[in-house]
Structure 1
Amino acid sequence: MRIITGKARGCRLKTPKGEATRPTADRIKESLFNILGRRVEEACVLDLFAGTGALGLEALSRGAASALFVDERTTPLIEENAAKTRLSARAEIVRGDALRVLARLGALGRSFDLIFCDPPYQRGFWEKALSSVDREGLLAPDGCMIVEHGTDEEELPALKELRCVREESYGKTTRLRFFVRTAKG
């Protein structure tokens, strides 16, 4: 696993031992960032269920202004990878349950231009996180939330402000969904 492009291009990231964390494959990450294009530049990023921090660190390497990483177990690993890539100055790392952190961020009035959500598959976490982002108003008006989940996880929760604008499948196991805020008018 490595940073694909930008200031930290080619830097290899440390990954945890075992199968508790499933990092996003480099080919999926490359496709994701090709889709996002210049939208990453100067973005305020939230990386939920951050694992190794690969998505948020890739965004920082490509010019994002800041990234908030949230994970319950891997914060020391994220800190190590942020230091290794020399991107620590723009990284904020929070250890905690992602759903509880989302509620705190909403109470603080925070919003993000890009939100990456890559939880463990088959546990209902992505649906709960998506609903929470929708309810708390955490996605900036021109922002995009990208959710990675299993291809067999079809059900979308009821959403008030967010809508799915794009879906991409990768092999038999992985799907990305892109959400934006609906226009108020």
Structure 2
Amino acid sequence: MRNKTAQNKVINKSSDGFIRIISGQFRGRKLPVKDVQGLRPTTDRIKETVFNWLMQDTRDTNVLDCFAGSGGLGFEALSRFAKSATFIELDLLAATQLEHNITTLKLQNAHVKNINTLSFLEQKNLNEPFDLVFVDPPFRKNLAQISCDFLEKNQWLSSEALIYVEVESDLNSFTKPDNWLLIKEKKAGQVFSRLYQRQSN
């Protein structure tokens, strides 16, 4: 049993990886990522597309990274001088790694909440709303739809917030809130990337 446990530890360690920050003040930095079941870090190619879309719209924003996982989107936003970032991640190993990476980058404006994203979003937001939100959930669980509905319903968004949503390319059932305007979209392999802007009522 001891040998088997040791072997599993070696396997898990060897399958851990890294994400790379592609631009901004931390450009080129590599941050460790735990090998967690269901974690699907956004590829550099998609990340580059997203932040090209957001080129003029990241600085000084309050960022919410839902289903943060590796934190690739949130850390990229912080590298590009976002005002703050909140990472929501249910898996304890992944959340702990996010904390370590925040410490490594010496960030004072980033926070991790080790909680179920839907449990977090179903509450009314009583604090400052978010200007930029990333919704990149595990596929095949309808989590994007529920999350976006909660974001709009429970006052998580500033009046003209930008919301990036990443879903599986064959998902046809996703429906945006009525006051979200689709401003960019791109399909790449199994991933459909969309950027929305909230229209203030």
What is the TM-score with the length of structure 1 in the denominator?
0.91
The residue type paired with residue 98 of structure 2 is I
User: Distance between the aligned counterparts of 2:128 and 2:122, measured in 1?
Assistant: 10
Counterpart of 2:147 in structure 1 is 129
Distance of aligned partners of 1:78 and 1:44 in 2 relative to their CA distance in 1, 3 Å threshold: same
Match of 2:134 among 113, 116, 121: 116
Of structures 1 and 2, the larger Rg is shown by: 2
User: Distance between the aligned counterparts of 1:86 and 1:10, measured in 2?
Assistant: 16
SS at match of 1:38: coil
User: Distance between the aligned counterparts of 1:72 and 1:30, measured in 2?
Assistant: 26
Match of 1:85 among 88, 99, 105: 105
Count of matched residue positions in the alignment of Structure 1 and Structure 2: 181
User: Distance between the aligned counterparts of 2:147 and 2:47, measured in 1?
Assistant: 20
Q: Which blocks of at least 5 consecutive residues in structure 1 are unaligned?
A: none
User: Distance between the aligned counterparts of 2:100 and 2:175, measured in 1?
Assistant: 35
Q: Deviations over 1:146-185 (max 9, x none)?
A: 0111101122236243233321111x2011111222243x
- Structure 1 runs of 4+ off > 6 angstroms? none
Q: Is the 8 A contact 1:11 1:85 kept in 2?
A: no
Distance of aligned partners of 1:112 and 1:167 in 2 relative to their CA distance in 1, 3 Å threshold: same
User: Distance between the aligned counterparts of 1:127 and 1:183, measured in 2?
Assistant: 20
Counterpart of 2:13 in structure 1 is none
RMSD of aligned C-alpha atoms?
Answer: 1.5
Question: Is it true that 1:99 corresponds to 2:138 in the alignment?
Answer: no
What is the TM-score with the length of structure 2 in the denominator?
0.84
Identity of matched residues, %: 31
Distance of aligned partners of 1:103 and 1:18 in 2 relative to their CA distance in 1, 3 Å threshold: closer
Counterpart of 2:67 in structure 1 is 49
Q: Which blocks of at least 5 consecutive residues in structure 2 are unaligned?
A: 1-18
